[in-house]
Structure 1
């Protein structure tokens, strides 16, 4: 049996950010196992009950800051749609225009009108180790560790690069939080100006992956209106503008492939749980993060954010319906309340031949508890490592994915009766579902 010391050591290895939470990852199966008592059992990847999850493919941020690594597992999360955002159509120096895609020059007309409000964002970070900017990237540190303490910690070097857009003529800019995360300085290049502007970060949200910046100028800036994505239908044309791979003002065109897509992307700070995303096949690449996704009226319906690293033509944008309810909070640096996140605190694996033999499970179905967080709701209910959870509220589950989805459908405070198999015997335990976000805020 794994000792407390071994468990703590394992959790440190799995959590480079220092959190004691279990990492949400894809359930794995079909791999030959050793005896449960051996630490090698715990080198496999787990699905955690910190929220409901479903594997949808490899994802990465669409920012040059995060283009070193791909293949992060996406984890779907449910949720209801936000209230639609109603915005005016005044663009200041940038005029809106309803255009017919079939008309000659229609896309170029949108681009000509919108491009002046799309900005390039570059950051500077502290150079506290090594000579490469990538050493400051949290993903770099997660995979390779710190490369030493050499260098002057006060010296700044190039950090990340992404996109943003002006949404008010007084110089307010929207972008992704991951574009400016960890920046000591933020510089914004606006079309038509000889020099970049030094920007002030007004407010940001890790969970929503949004940030608002402010630049000061001696005249009104061009800006883009926030439109309503609810008026855009699946299959309608959309336009993306950004700075992929440092190719400024790159334009791509595609269709709105789907709405209400939920994904998760883990990083060194935790896991961002995205909800209600727009999916598009308009090409989105590293450097596009924070750029606008436009409808054919030249209105912003989303902020380009992530791409599927395992497939072409699958990009995601945060809809303006998500932005609208928190925009004033971001402008005024007011904390945004976190949504409750169902949580019971166990890591799971599917039952494969190795588990079936080791635990003498016969034909039993369910998910193996391969790790449990001390003090978690599951631990308090009496669930322990190597238990098999075979049912929730009387409904049988076939594996880790299905079990996770059932927990995700519950609410913090709900009491769930879970059927467990331990040493060949079935029994029921009652788990009071916790709130992961409330736990983290304590």
Structure 2
């Protein structure tokens, strides 16, 4: 026991200092990757090296990416003129009798405006956005970051099923543009950046990660089959804007929001866009093959009711009148067992075959009808 108070105080101070130093070194061991830890470096460099080791995505990386890509992101304003709106007086019987069949002189056309986002993909002014952003628009205005007055845009091509549209604007100068990346190389958990105009707020930037890939999503009457999911905030007005990786490449087009949840947004993969981009520019649309049937996957119960010995295949629950299937002789209740000698396990197999085919292709179906099997050839038409 140390009786001298000053000596005891000194010893306690030394012990406290040793404990504090051990705690600091222990913290370094916790935060530094084991293979990169160097005690000498930690002792001389302090916490700055710890920060760089655990935060490879520095605050400047996102800011630099935004600075580099933002000039190519545009605001899209749409104007739609509909029929004359009803004048409140014209609904009154007295005024209807007074004016007869004439519409009151003060009736005004109903003009509605919409807002969305897009981005330039070539220096000569091609712009990508969502189809639903420009659908039914009579006039499309595109606002560049460095110009107050908008440029009038022309629709070059659009596809409702994929929710994609290509616009064209004209400028006397070469325009900044973004590159489409390869979303196959993007991993779940990677950082992404969304730039757009939510609620009309120009060039709003949000950041997050890729939450999932290959999401099928139903949004109102649209069925998206393969979307990227992100927790970067995407709100009304973001539609059509780019989802970027940290290299500044577009890996998706922001398109859908789950309004009932927080931190869930969706984007059309860049590779989906690239697969149809040339077709949209050259032809203005995407041609899809069509057979004209409604299909249902067989199960044991349905197979028993139809008197089938096996539940393999898919049954036609309906045939569209005048469709290629109708013209080929297919009927409701037919069971498709194979297409081009490839067995059909369920309704999804038929859909996959049609989607991979081209307009004008002939496909041979092995069909079971009334206990017997036969081959029927269908020539696919344009949807």
Q: TM-score, normalised by structure 1?
A: 0.55
Of residues 385, 388, 391 in structure 1, which corresponds to 2:337? 391
Partner of 2:347: 400
Secondary structure in structure 2 of the residue aligned to 1:304: strand
Question: Once the two structures are superposed, what CA deviation does each residue of 1:35-75 show, in whole Å capped at 9, x if it has no partner?
Answer: xxxxxxxxxxxxxxxxxxxxxxxxxxxxxxxxxxxxxxxxx
Partner of 1:228: 181
| Pair member with larger Rg | 2
1:266-305 superposed matches below 5 A: 280-305=230-255
The answer to whether the Cα contact below 8 Å between 1:177 and 1:204 also exists between their aligned partners in 2 is no
Q: 1:350 to 1:295 in 2, by over 3 A?
A: closer
Partner of 1:33: none
The answer to whether the Cα contact below 8 Å between 1:305 and 1:318 also exists between their aligned partners in 2 is no
The answer to whether the Cα contact below 8 Å between 1:417 and 1:428 also exists between their aligned partners in 2 is no
> Is there any run of 5+ residues in structure 1 with no aligned partner, and where?
1-99, 132-149
Distance 2:121 2:71 in 1: 12
The answer to whether the Cα contact below 8 Å between 2:243 and 2:253 also exists between their aligned partners in 1 is yes
Distance 1:183 1:264 in 2: 24
Would you tell me which structure has more helix in proportion to its own residues? 2
The answer to whether the Cα contact below 8 Å between 2:157 and 2:285 also exists between their aligned partners in 1 is no
Question: Once the two structures are superposed, what CA deviation does each residue of 1:275-296 show, in whole Å capped at 9, x if it has no partner?
Answer: 7x65544343332222112221
The answer to whether the Cα contact below 8 Å between 1:258 and 1:278 also exists between their aligned partners in 2 is yes
Distance 2:277 2:329 in 1: 40
Distance 2:127 2:356 in 1: 36
The answer to whether the Cα contact below 8 Å between 1:229 and 1:321 also exists between their aligned partners in 2 is no
> Is there any run of 5+ residues in structure 2 with no aligned partner, and where?
1-54, 87-102
Partner of 1:348: 295
Partner of 1:106: 61
1:10-409 superposed matches below 5 A: 102-128=57-83, 130=85, 155=109, 157-168=111-122, 172-193=126-147, 195-201=148-154, 203-206=156-159, 209-216=164-171, 223-229=176-182, 232-235=185-188, 236-256=190-210, 280-307=230-257, 313=264, 315-319=266-270, 322-323=273-274, 326=277, 330=281, 334-336=282-284, 338=286, 341=289, 343-350=290-297, 361=307, 365=311, 366-385=313-332, 387-389=333-335, 391-393=337-339, 397=344, 399-405=346-352, 407-408=354-355
Secondary structure in structure 2 of the residue aligned to 1:228: coil
CA RMSD of aligned residues (A): 4.3
Distance 2:232 2:364 in 1: 43
Secondary structure in structure 2 of the residue aligned to 1:108: helix
Distance 2:307 2:352 in 1: 23
Of residues 406, 410, 434 in structure 1, which corresponds to 2:379? 434
Distance 2:283 2:301 in 1: 47
Name the structure, 1 or 2, with higher relative contact order (CA <8 Å, separation 6+). Answer: 1
Q: 1:262 to 1:356 in 2, by over 3 A?
A: closer
Secondary structure in structure 1 of the residue aligned to 2:59: coil
The answer to whether the Cα contact below 8 Å between 2:73 and 2:120 also exists between their aligned partners in 1 is yes
The answer to whether the Cα contact below 8 Å between 2:328 and 2:378 also exists between their aligned partners in 1 is no
1:239: how far off? 1.1
The answer to whether the Cα contact below 8 Å between 2:197 and 2:203 also exists between their aligned partners in 1 is yes
Secondary structure in structure 1 of the residue aligned to 2:194: strand
Q: 1:430 to 1:241 in 2, by over 3 A?
A: same
